[in-house]
A and B are shown apart, each in its own frame.
Chain A
Amino acid sequence: NCVHLSHLTPSLTPIVPQQSEAIVIYTGWERHALVGSDIRLSCSFFSWRWTSDDVTFSWSYRADGARDSISVFHYTGGSPYVDNKGPFRDRLEFVGNPGRRDGSILLKNLDYGDNGTFTCDAKNPPDIVGRASSVRLLVFEKVPIQAGVITGAIIGAVLGLLVLVVVIYYLMRFLVARRVFNLSVSKHGKKGKGKEGSQQRQASPLSVGSLTTTTQR
């Protein structure tokens, strides 16, 4: 028995499964749009394998507050299938290029009821393990300012103003000092006082004798 098995074991060694990285799907994080406008929801993926002919894209939609999601788009076998019964009938269009790994869809004539989460799931056989990615759609009457724009603007303006004030101060000091130096070439006695006068910031009664003004900031 053992002899027979020893002949068999080489062919029974298990085939090590090929290491396959997961497929990574990219959509936006959040999209803002105005009522009545169109919006393009992009979806693309990264896969270590070549784009196969059986690549599939799948979009599903979950309205804000709803618990279930419905499927609104599917691309398979080389053909796109758009929603013809659900909330997006006649409003959805496929504008992607599967050969270029782009599964984007175009939503037309948005309404407030379209607020919700769109999830894109792509599969590139044999690379099918991956996590679907979601993009949140927000429909506004008027597009609000992005978070952080005004914050950054205010901070930048104040700090810029600060830098400007400091630069102007040092420029003035330099100019006045230079002009005073030119003036007081003939008037030696006034030289010390002139330099003191330009240090208005740290104005403190300095003894005339000490010309330690250069150490002062």
Chain B
Amino acid sequence: MLLLLLGIVILHAAALVLLFVSTIVSAWTTGSTSSSDLWNNCSTISGGYHCDPAYTGEWIQAVQALMILSIIFSFISLFLFFCQLFTLQKGGRFFVTGVFQILASLFVMSGAVIYTVMSPNWVPVSEAYGWAYILAWVAFPLALISGLIYVILRKRE
């Protein structure tokens, strides 16, 4: 039982860490001389590393908001998990925890989808998607599975 608990918490924490890294690191698109992410467009031109704030479009701000919301909801879900662990009835389900984690996964999915759809505008043809973008897509199924496990899980002992 304890092992299962540990495994679930580690899964949740892994999803959370992926969300964090994906949101913060500047590697959603990478090219030979530039990389950009949700917050900055950085490029090395003529010997200097130089960052500009990202485009102030409506959609990039929506992606920023969704990624931040997914982090917040995942945090809340972790917190609720520990709350429910100590207050739930025997045989009860971690329903609220699961709902929040599933919402977090839906947010990160929406963010990644919007970024993908808007990529003709944001990602020049010569550049490729970066690893932080991939992390966002990996975090989505991880968080989803984690949330589903919570919904199915029943408290014992």
Contact = CB atoms under 8 A, between A and B. Distances in A.
Interface string A180-217: 00000000000000000000011011100000100111
Given A154-B69, A159-B72, A145 B93 contact: no
A153 B69 CA distance: 12
Range of interface residues on B (Cβ < 8 Å): 20 to 34
Contacts of B62: 150-151, 154
Interface in B55-75: 56-58, 61-62, 64-66, 68-69, 72
A148 B68 contact: no
A205 B93 CA distance: 11
Range of interface residues on A (Cβ < 8 Å): 20 to 34
A113 interface: no
Given A202-B88, A202-B93, A202-B95, A155 B61 contact: no
Contacts of B66: 154
A64 to B, nearest CB: 12
Given A155-B69, A202-B95, A147 B89 contact: no
Interface string B83-102: 11001110111011000000
A143 to B, nearest CB: 10
B95 A201 contact: yes
B124 interface: no
Contacts of A148: 61, 64
A147 B96 contact: no
A149 interface: yes
A206 B64 CA distance: 43
Nearest to A206: B89
A144 interface: yes
Given A151-B64, A155-B68, A217-B84, A204 B91 contact: yes
A201 B87 CA distance: 13
B53 interface: yes
B65 A146 contact: no
Interface string A130-153: 000000000000001111111111
A5 interface: no
Nearest to B57: A144
Interface string A91-111: 000000000000000000000
A201 B151 CA distance: 12
A93 to B, nearest CB: 30
Nearest to A157: B65
A66 interface: no
Contact of A151 (B68, B89, B93, B96): B68
B139 to A, nearest CB: 18
A3 interface: no
A36 B22 CA distance: 42
A150 B91 CA distance: 43
Given A216-B87, A217-B87, A145 B58 contact: yes
Given A147-B53, A158-B69, 19 more contacts: A144-B56, A145-B56, A146-B56, A149-B61, A150-B58, A151-B62, A151-B65, A153-B65, A154-B66, A154-B69, A159-B69, A201-B95, A201-B96, A202-B89, A204-B89, A204-B91, A212-B89, A216-B87, A217-B84
Closest 4 CB pairs of A and B: A154-B65, A150-B61, A151-B61, A151-B65
